[in-house]
Amino acid sequence: MEPDPALVTEVRAALVREIEASGAWRDDPAWRAAFEAVPRHLFVPYYYVGAAVGGGYERLWGEDPDPGRRTRWLRGAYADAPLATRLRDGDLISSSSQPSLMAKMLVELDVREADRVLEIGAGTGYNAALLAHRLGDDHVTTVDLDPEITESARRHLAAAGYRPAVVTGDGAAGCPERAPYDRIIVTCTLTSVPRLWLAQCAPGARVLAPLATGLIALTVRDAEHAEGRFLHTPAYFVPLRGGSGRAPLERHVGGLPCRALQNELFRFLLELTGGSLDPHEALALWEREGRPVRERFGVSVRGRYEWAWLDDPEGPYVWPL
C-alpha cells in the first residue's frame, strides 16, 4: 500500500527544513541533498511508540488498514525524532536515530568524496543509504551482529535503490575484508575503542563514536595509536553488542545532591570515568574544575593502553577505559 506521494513530498521537505534550522549542515551543506533524496519511510515500514493507554508500546506501520493510522505512521517516519524499530523481550535492540543528530554526525565525520566508510550498527539501513548517496555504494560498508537486522537493512536499501555492503558480524571486529577505511562511524554506545578498528584504518582516518553520553572524534595515527576530543553534542544510543561490549556501569550515587545528578554534564563525567572515581570524588572534581563541558575531555589509545582525560592526555586527570 503506497503512501500518498504528495504527503511524502510534504513531510520530507518539512524534515529537511527542520534539520537545516538546527544548524546541522552549516559546515557541509552537501548533506542536504542526501536527506532530500533518501526516503526515510522506506527504512521504517513499522516502528513503536509509547502506548497512550496501559503503557508498553504501540506499533505503527505503513500497511495498516486504517488510513488515519497510516498517516500517523508516515508523519512519524519524517519527524525529527528517534524511532524504536526492533524490540526483544520488551527491550529496545535497534532504532532509527534522530535525523538532525544523524546529520550532525555525518558532517562531523568530515568525509571526502573518495573516502571508504565503515558503519558499526546497521540499524534500519537509513544512515548507510545517506552515506551511499554521498559517496557511492562501493565506498560504504555497514556491519551488525544480528542477521535479522542486516537482512531487513538490505531489503530497505534495495527498495530505496542503494546497495552498499551489508555484513552480518561482530561490529567490535570491524570488517577486515573491506578494509582499509578512511572513516568509521558508530551508531551504538561504546565503553572502549576496539583495537581491531584501528588496524583496519588508513593513517589519518577519523573514528566518530558515541562513548559515555558524548561523541568522541578520534584521529588514527596507526594500528596502535589514536587520539581525540569529545564534541559538544550529547548522544544516547543502544549499547554495542558483541565481542568488546560490556554492560553500562551501575553504581551507588546515594547522598549526591539532586542538582548534580540532574546535570547532564556531571552524569557524562560519571559514565566516562567508569568507576575509577567514587561519585563524591567525581562531584568534587567537577565543581573544582568549573563544571567542565564535554569538549574539555578526550580519549587516547596507545598500544594496549586506553584512557579518558580532562584537558590533557598527560595531565593529572586520567581514567582507564
Which pLDDT does position 244 carry in this prediction? Answer: 44
Q: Kindly report which listed range (8-22, 75-89, 295-309) carries the lowest average pLDDT score.
A: 75-89
Q: Are 269 and 224 within one domain?
A: no
Tell me the average pLDDT of the chain: 91
* Helix axes 126-135 and 99-109, enclosed angle (nearest 10): 40
Q: Are 217 and 274 within one domain?
A: no
In-domain check, residue 251 = no
* 96 half-sphere exposure, CB direction, 13 A CA radius: 30
Which pLDDT does position 237 carry in this prediction? Answer: 86
Which pLDDT does position 259 carry in this prediction? Answer: 76
Binned at pLDDT 50, 70 and 90, residue 26 comes out as confident
Q: Are 90 and 139 within one domain?
A: yes
Which pLDDT does position 52 carry in this prediction? Answer: 56
What is the identity of the amino acid at 171? G
Q: To the nearest whole percent, how much of the chain has pLDDT over 70?
A: 93
Give 84's DSSP letter.
Answer: E
In-domain check, residue 245 = no
In-domain check, residue 241 = no
Please compute the mean of the pLDDT values over residues 62-68 and round it to a whole number.
95
More confidently predicted of 75 and 239:
75
Q: Catalytic pick from 22, 94, 96, 300?
A: 94
pLDDT tens column, 237-248 = 888 865 444 444
Q: Are 218 and 271 within one domain?
A: no
Residue 263 has pLDDT above 50, yes or no: yes
Q: Are 173 and 294 within one domain?
A: no
Binned at pLDDT 50, 70 and 90, residue 250 comes out as very low
How far is residue 95's CA from residue 48's CA, in Å, rounded to a whole number?
10
In-domain check, residue 238 = no
| Structural domains in the chain (count) | 2
251-279 burial string, b = 16+ CB within 10 Å, else e? eeeeeeeeebeeeebbbbbbbbbbeebeb
Which pLDDT does position 169 carry in this prediction? Answer: 96
Q: Are 170 and 264 within one domain?
A: no
Please compute the mean of the pLDDT values over residues 159-165 and round it to a whole number.
98
Angle (nearest 5°) at CA 155 between 93 and 243 = 40
Closest CA to 166 of 202, 197, 133, 128: 128
What is the identity of the amino acid at 22? S
Q: Kindly report which listed range (23-32, 193-202, 283-292) carries the lowest average pLDDT score.
A: 23-32
Of 194, 215, 230, which marks where a domain is finished? 230
Q: Are 226 and 262 within one domain?
A: no
In-domain check, residue 268 = yes
Q: Are 281 and 196 within one domain?
A: no
* 299 half-sphere exposure, CB direction, 13 A CA radius: 29
Please compute the mean of the pLDDT values over residues 101-113 and round it to a whole number.
95
In-domain check, residue 205 = yes
Q: Are 132 and 40 within one domain?
A: yes
Q: Kindly report which listed range (75-79, 87-91, 150-154) carries the lowest average pLDDT score.
A: 87-91
Give 190's DSSP letter.
Answer: B
What is the identity of the amino acid at 127? N
Binned at pLDDT 50, 70 and 90, residue 50 comes out as confident
Q: Are 20 and 140 within one domain?
A: yes
In-domain check, residue 246 = no
| DSSP β-bridge partners for residue 183 | 117, 206
pLDDT tens column, 86-105 = 877 777 777 889 999 999 99
Q: Are 54 and 148 within one domain?
A: yes
Closest CA to 191 of 145, 243, 255, 144: 243
What is the identity of the amino acid at 289? E
Binned at pLDDT 50, 70 and 90, residue 249 comes out as very low
Residue 95 a catalytic site member: no
Write out the three cell numbers for 286: 567537577
Q: Are 48 and 106 within one domain?
A: yes
How far is residue 296's CA from residue 310's CA, in Å, rounded to a whole number?
6
Give 189's DSSP letter.
Answer: B
The CATH number of the domain holding residue 75 is 3.40.50.150
| H helix intervals, 110-192 | 126-135, 147-160
In-domain check, residue 123 = yes
Domain membership of residue 95 as a residue range: 5-230
- Do 57 and 96 contact (CB within 8 A), yes or no? no
